[in-house]
Amino acid sequence: MGDVLKKVPVREQDAKVRATNFEEVCYGYNQEEAMEEAVRCINCKNAKCITGCPVAINIPGFIHEVKEGNIEEAYKVISKSSALPAVCGRVCPQESQCEGVCIRGIKGEPVSIGKLERFVADWAREHGISPEKPAETNGKKVAVIGSGPAGLTCAGDLAKMGYEVTIFEALHEPGGVLVYGIPEFRLPKKGVVAPEIENVKKLGVKIETNVVIGKSVTIDELLNEEGFDAVFIGSGAGLPKFMGIPGENANGVFSANEYLTRSNLMKAFDENYDTPIMIGKKVAVVGGGNVAMDAARTALRLGAEVHIVYRRSEAELPARVEEVHHAKQEGIIFDLLTNPLEILVDDNGWVRGMSCIKMELGEPDESGRRRPVEIKGSEFEIELDTVIMSLGTSPNPLISSTTKGLETNRRKCIVAQEENGATTKEGVYAGGDAVTGAATVILAMGAGKSAAQGIDEFLNGK
Amino acid sequence: MYKIRKAEKLAENIFLMDVEAPRIAKSCEPGQFLIVKMDEKGERIPLTICDYHREDGTVTIVFQIVGASTKKMAELQAGDSFRDVIGPLGQASEFIHEPAAELKEKKYLFVAGGVGTAPVYPQVKWMKENGIDVDVIVGAKNKDLLILEDEMRAVAGNLYVTTDDGSYERKGMVTEVIKDLVQNEGKHYDQVVAIGPMIMMKFVCLLTRELGLPTIVSLNPIMVDGTGMCGACRVTVGDQVKFACVDGPEFDGHLVNFDEAMKRQTIYKTQEGRAMLKLQEGDTHHGGCGHCGGDE
């Protein structure tokens, strides 16, 4: 028995080895380790962890089953609330959600809820346990736009309630950010994402890929011509931002979305696939979020020296602590308090470097974070051949601009009620990044869940 | 899966296919494009929609072998299938939104270069269907590389064919024909639409700016998703950065930064060259020649 104040450590691939491959970094718990960690949960009466979880999983309930060795029961408890536990156990920022409010965390480390959830989901998959299809449908049809975490959750919940659900996906593979954004080494596609999507299909959900809503067919046509009774929009926030600095269109400058899509969705890192990717020698990733870490660690694995260029200090990095830690272990160099001014371009139109300026932190801004201020005269240049811009994304206006009566705010986000996802157009619901702007997988799932409730109330009241 | 109904060789290295894609056939308009992905390991390749048959649920694509992927694609036969066909993508040509009465008052000149004849065709056909006769210039390197001549002749008001080497009809570049029509034959045009290789569109635009003819071009930058989520296809138009896949592919040619666009087309030239060599030489390709990089 280890130190009860500390988490049971999780086995990981060695940093030096994993920096050269795309295999999963974290191996997860085995049953023995999971049961040992489960003992640390003190089964609070008013469990705060549940309130910290956006889909309110009965955490003490499932951990109790793990403690007893009833892993199948534990899976059933989680499945009541979550459609994608193998994904969430891996990518949720637990430190600011369930684990952030765990009582154990006051003195020592919180219970490793994410790793336990992941263990249960992986165990269920390996033992061939999946959710059951409902006996019969209620004959009502719902269209779900987008097959990311919001869409998959909403579709799964509606199917369980008896609706006939069709998901429309613009790309050639379902999964949204789970397949094109988050890399293989954090979230294996064949091993983890594909089986979770299969589970949603087993509930009776149909998935039609290669359908671009707003182009191939509009929401109005789905409602008026194709017989759908309601629509859920979970189209995400996939439009990349650029800085608008000189040289940004040079050869060798990519959005993180492009870089990651090439690597994750198109498998450009694997030479058996046809899509090419730029293998830089010296790469700068501009930004400090999870996407920046993913892009940096991908470039590293392709063989580059990689710098994260971020204008604030380490304390303000929006990325998960675990990811920053992993990135550092692997050898990513952090150029903090540094802001790009211009991409330097050679005579042939290729990136040759970046001119930057040093920053210091000033007074807190409206968001409460200390505002970075340029230090006069501190300009300097770094030599580079590749720059990856990871400055965040915003919702794609394609759907809102082709749907009559769908209101958006000034950030192009769809206006929807928080409690049930209802938009300004009757029968049309929305949730996830399309409503909030870029956020987390689990928040998108929470929104998908509330919208499924909202749609059910709307169609039952009809 | 998207079944190939017809596969036809139009000229050396240029192929036409009719593909079953009912949703695209139902909703596409002239000026839009689609993306095909051959198989699981294939890349996503953007191609302009050359024709569509709404009742049949098929769309027509025309492509030229330029690298490994298009070479593999050319081997597909009627009865084979594409794993993925996505679309329609991009904005439709602006003229389809114009009131018919106003459109009929305008004089249009379409300029097509090489395989660019394919995307020009549905636009000219749309004009014909709406009772508008337009002038069309089609340019090809030589007689053998001229495509869709009969189809174009059936829908164009006046068709001017030119070949670089003079092996058929007129001799010379499309720009020479434009000059000839405007300066010697006294023709007037309110709008020019030019589609072809980037370098051709650039030179057409340099000329039409001089002649004072508004010109629309259809750009063909590198694309990945084609839905606006990556910016691989970004181009500078005037003082703005645009994504060709969602804002275009058609833009005011006099505002396009062609030099930047042409440089960006070459980003993966080395990798593309290697892929082509690997395909051509198969197992015999082991590098060592010191040029192809296959030994790295």
Provide the ipTM. 0.91
Q: Do B271 and A348 touch (CB under 8 A)?
A: no
pTM value is: 0.92
On the question of pLDDT at B293 being above 70, the answer is no
Determine contact, residues B103/B76, Cβ cutoff 8 Å: no
Q: Which residues contact residue A18 at a Cβ distance below 8 angstroms, ignoring those fewer than 6 apart?
A: A12, A25, A185, A330
Chain A and chain B share a number of CB contacts under 8 A equal to 109
Tokens of B70: 């298009």
Q: Do A170 and B88 touch (CB under 8 A)?
A: no
What pLDDT digit, counting tens, does each position of B208-226 carry?
999 999 999 999 999 999 9
pLDDT band at residue B296 using 50, 70 and 90 as cut-offs: very low
Which of B113, B98, B89 lies closest to B217, judged by CA? B113
Q: Return the half-sphere exposure (C-beta side, CA atoms, 13 A cut-off) of residue A301.
A: 29
Interface of A with B in 139-198 (CB under 8 A): 170-172
- For chain B, strand residue ranges (E) read 2-11, 14-20, 33-37, 44-53, 58-64, 81-82, 84-89, 108-113, 135-140, 158-163, 170-171, 191-195, 215-218, 234-237, 240-243, 250-252
Whole-number Cα distances in Å, B78 to B4, B7, B9? 5, 5, 12
- Letter string b/e over residues A350-383, b meaning 16 or more CB atoms within 10 A of that residue's CB: bbbbbbbbbbebeeeeeeeebebeeeeeeeeebe
Does the beta carbon of B133 lie under 8 angstroms from any beta carbon of chain A? Answer: no
Q: Which residue has the tokens 């030589």?
A: B142
B198 interaction partners in chain A (CB closer than 8 Å): none
Q: Which residue of A lies nearest to B25 if distances are taken between CA atoms?
A: A216
The partner residue sitting opposite B27, judged by closest CB among A216, A258, A348, is A216
What pLDDT digit, counting tens, does each position of A392-450 carry?
999 988 888 889 899 999 889 999 999 999 999 999 999 999 999 988 888 999 999 99
Does the beta carbon of B89 lie under 8 angstroms from any beta carbon of chain A? Answer: yes
pLDDT band at residue B292 using 50, 70 and 90 as cut-offs: low
Which of A293, A275, A387 lies closest to A332, judged by CA? A293
B228 interaction partners in chain A (CB closer than 8 Å): 238-239, 396, 398
Q: Do A216 and B232 touch (CB under 8 A)?
A: no
Q: Strand pairing of B234-237 and B240-243?
A: antiparallel
What pLDDT digit, counting tens, does each position of A287-321 carry?
999 999 999 999 999 999 999 999 999 999 999 88
CA–CA gap between residue B213 and residue B109 (Å, rounded): 10
Q: Which residue of B lies nearest to A257 if distances are taken between CA atoms?
A: B230
Angle between helices A59-68 and A71-81 (to 10 degrees): 170
Interface of B with A in 27-66 (CB under 8 A): 27, 32, 37, 41-44
Whole-number Cα distances in Å, B173 to A196, B153, B261? 57, 19, 22
The partner residue sitting opposite A396, judged by closest CB among B41, B84, B229, is B229
What pLDDT digit, counting tens, does each position of B10-69 carry?
999 999 999 999 999 999 999 999 999 999 999 999 999 999 999 999 999 999 998 889
Of the residues A249, A348, A391, the best mutation for testing chain B's interface (the one with the most B CB atoms within 10 Å of its CB) is A249
Torsion of CA A227, A230, A232, A235, to 10 degrees: 40
